[in-house]
A and B are shown apart, each in its own frame.
Chain A
């Protein structure tokens, strides 16, 4: 009876983070890009919890809590920005929104 190796969790975290990076890179819908960012945040949370269990240290759990708060705030503001852009431009495709691109 050995339990689950910690490295399995880290590999899963790496896979999910890579999927999030791929999503941000190849998708052009701003909402899906946002969802990929959420995927990356969750992958990092999994890493934090795995190391928190390994080190028997409560700081990892506190940090995950803070990441969740920041993610909630980020989603609220980000979706408000997307709605505002949609009302202005009638699109959320990032190819069509290049106001900051020179």
Chain B
């Protein structure tokens, strides 16, 4: 019961943060709401017995990625987005009913042979299990990610060092 209560608290926080990310006109508030969502999601990961991923999630997303986002937002001094009248006019009349139909169909198919299962108390999310899998069976993909990170780093340095020009 306590777990379910915690799940709903974190879920409401995550959805509220997500809505604020989408609707807020000031990008700084969007970034701060995204941090709220990420922390709430870390709570959900812990409820799913994925402790290692929860810690790494906080360290990588809240610690690195969101700092980078806020840094760039403050660096660029972005103005508040103004409204575009009539941008959603046709989307409301056609898009929303079609999305509703799609979700009803998918939901019907998904719940037709539905049998509820519950979160199990496993050790699948511990550092031990993940480390064993990561350094034995998945050691090659793990090493390749280091190449990906080096490529991203070189690309970011190159792009931000050089002043680009428009080629007609």
- Residues in A lying within 8 Å of B, measured CB to CB: 1-9, 12, 15-16, 19-20, 22-23, 25-29, 31-32, 34-36, 38-39, 42, 45-46, 49-50, 52-54, 56-59, 61-62, 64-66, 68-77, 79-84, 86-88, 92-93, 99
Contacts and interface: CB of A to CB of B under 8 A. Distances in A.
Interface residues on B, range: 35 or more
A22 to B, nearest CB: 6
Secondary structure class of chain B's binding surface, majority of residues: helix
A contact patch SS: helix
A27 B81 contact: yes
Interface of B: 1, 3-4, 7, 11, 14-15, 18-19, 21-22, 27, 30-31, 34, 37-38, 41, 44-45, 47-50, 52-53, 56-57, 60-61, 64-65, 68-69, 72-73, 75-76, 78, 81, 84, 87-88, 91, 114, 116-122, 124-125, 129-130, 133-134, 138, 141, 145, 148-149, 151-153, 155-157, 159-160, 162-166
A38 B65 CA distance: 10
A93 B87 CA distance: 15
